[in-house]
Structure 1
């Protein structure tokens, strides 16, 4: 190979000398001619090998069942490899062409060597990108932070490549270079602080299974409320439900608090936890006539009969004076309303009856008595969940007047709290 290259690039100078040109002029003209020949041969070597490699890889990709080689074609791996072959040819040829120019031979040799290192890194990157795309198509890897792992590997490879380039440029031994690197490690840590934090966070997020691609998360600090679409070394991308995208630093997932809804989505139901405020002064005991009217409500008719029978027996056994309602045991409109809502929820078809289902009274507030519904829907999809919850509370609001109860509302007129701002 060396002898062939000497014949190809060694004919011009003797010919020019035979033409009785000066030694210096012959040398420079010979150099120009050889550079033109080198560029011409390198170009056609690239064209030929690119055609061969691209065609060969495309044929192999069509005949094989795996999709990995198809992704190699998509990421243009063969095209980058085709660049490598003429570069190797140039690397071998430069010492022959610049044999009389030792300084420039060293300079161009180093530049070609550096470009070869960079090209190898680019080829490696396309292979890892293909591997990333391939793994993301696998169900068992679709929710894993593959981008983070690929980026970490590429950072390590780029650092090694930079070491090789520096060694090549300044003729520094690897041991000396690593010692220098250790001395400036503090500065490097400062420069790559976010990258290092992101790497540590990515490892912890993966090992602790804190976030997966496809998880619905809520991160109030960054205004994120949507599905995770990408996890890489530095950032986590969230597609919000309004179709905007929020970018969150990866290390924030372990330094700050956020909410992951995966547990809810994987459970048997989605929780409804909402309350209304009942005016305290509207809560009272019920008389016999009112109980008879409320018996017309089918969901609590049997309950009223059973409960009233127990109360009457207790009052008679203890000789309670019922001329005043507060004496003994009595039914209240608020208590019956809670029972009615509980029975209504028990009969509502879209709720999971195997999970907690209750209508409870909370701590009184200055605005009234909170009545909370705590239950779980079978359908966890956002739009259906909202419809079910609205449907339940529509019925609750409509049912309140039947029990002679009132909902607390701020006054809309007058000079009191909540008065309208309009004149």
Structure 2
């Protein structure tokens, strides 16, 4: 069939310049190019008019990705190239310089089209995998990019071998001698590939994770994990790119486990003025007996103190005395346990830290059920507002360094 078509084309070319070989060849080549061009148009019409409606009506998603990434169109582009290559022996004399040049050009063009098709396939494959919820958080893009590097490297060697008329196998063998140079050139790619495998195998990093890496000024959400970079969108809307091997060889904090757990930790401190700390008399203690957060404790403590006095155990009675700071600490623990935005199943406490020259530090330690930044800060702020406001109820004062208001008040008092 191919021979019949060649005869028809030679006959058509002979109608114009039958007596001139050069013009006959030019007309013959022009007819081949015209056939390839018509074939390309027919393939595009077939894809857009017949295949596309079928793709859009199917319930599958993978065929949509293949079309959107031009995989089908790139595959169809091979047909005109193969037509040109098939008719070359009949257009030029075998072994002539024109035949060798045209053949090499066609081979390079076909290899480039194959690389373009395989690249589109990998991109479509990446989109298909990214739509799966169970795979979305894995650094699949880095693996796909590794395959792309390998494919394009092989394709580049094949193109070079075609141009210089050398076997690609011999070129690959020659690469062994320059392995050190290649490793230096592709150092970041090799390190990124190994680091990507480590990040994935150890479940260290997913797309969408919140990470902090102070060494790289990164504090935000991971947007993308590629072969050479990890892209982080910081909370100030700046973007930081980090090499994957820097995360593996260095250190970073991943907050994913916090979001998957029952709460996010709140740790806040206030400073109590030690001069405001004092024992409470029984009358002052009874004032808190009606408080729903302290009533049970106060009643039990007053009863225990009375029993100790009746038994004549003065040491026990003295030991059971309550300070306003102790009562305040118990109140805060009960408040934290019952507040709606804390997780009572996780550790919570109110404790004293080592005292310094700036008063007695009191730490509030708990886990908030709100984990997003704004809601979390709101819970912490509400807790601090309530804590600071309740200090006066217990006769306590917050310690702070003297300011301009304090000096003005002292001046007015002395005058």
Is the TM-score greater than 0.5? yes
Question: Displacement of 1:35 after TM fit?
Answer: 3.2
Where do residues 185-204 of structure 1 align in structure 2 (5 Å cutoff)? 185-204=179-198
| CA-to-aligned-CA distance 1:281-318 (integer Å, 9 cap, x gap) | 33233344433444454422332332244346557744
Asked if the contact 2:308–2:316 (Cα under 8 Å) also holds between the matched residues in 1, the reply is: no
Question: Displacement of 1:2 after TM fit?
Answer: 4.1
Question: Displacement of 1:280 after TM fit?
Answer: 3.0
Quote the Cα distance in structure 2 between the aligned partners of 1:309 and 1:12. 119
Where do residues 7-406 of structure 1 align in structure 2 (5 Å cutoff)? 7-11=7-11, 26-99=20-93, 102-295=96-289, 297-311=291-305, 313-314=307-308, 317-319=312-314, 330-406=321-397
Match of 2:410 in 1: none
SS of alignment partner, residue 251 of structure 1: helix
| CA-to-aligned-CA distance 1:354-395 (integer Å, 9 cap, x gap) | 111211112223322221111122233333222222111110
Asked if the contact 1:272–1:374 (Cα under 8 Å) also holds between the matched residues in 2, the reply is: yes
- Are 1:411 and 2:399 matched, yes or no? no
The alignment covers a number of residue pairs equal to: 406
Quote the Cα distance in structure 1 between the aligned partners of 2:157 and 2:346. 61
Quote the Cα distance in structure 2 between the aligned partners of 1:65 and 1:173. 46
**Alignment CA distance shift 1:321-1:117 (3 Å):** closer
**Alignment CA distance shift 1:18-1:253 (3 Å):** closer
Quote the Cα distance in structure 2 between the aligned partners of 1:174 and 1:223. 46
| CA-to-aligned-CA distance 1:44-70 (integer Å, 9 cap, x gap) | 111012222344431431343211011
Match of 1:4 in 2: 4
Unaligned runs of 5+ in 1: 20-25, 417-423
**Alignment CA distance shift 1:187-1:104 (3 Å):** same
What is the TM-score normalised by the length of structure 2? 0.88
Compute the RMSD of aligned alpha carbons: 2.7
**Alignment CA distance shift 1:380-1:16 (3 Å):** closer
SS of alignment partner, residue 60 of structure 1: helix
Question: Displacement of 1:100 after TM fit?
Answer: 7.2
Quote the Cα distance in structure 2 between the aligned partners of 1:295 and 1:15. 117
Unaligned runs of 5+ in 2: 408-415
Asked if the contact 2:273–2:397 (Cα under 8 Å) also holds between the matched residues in 1, the reply is: yes
Question: Displacement of 1:256 after TM fit?
Answer: 2.0
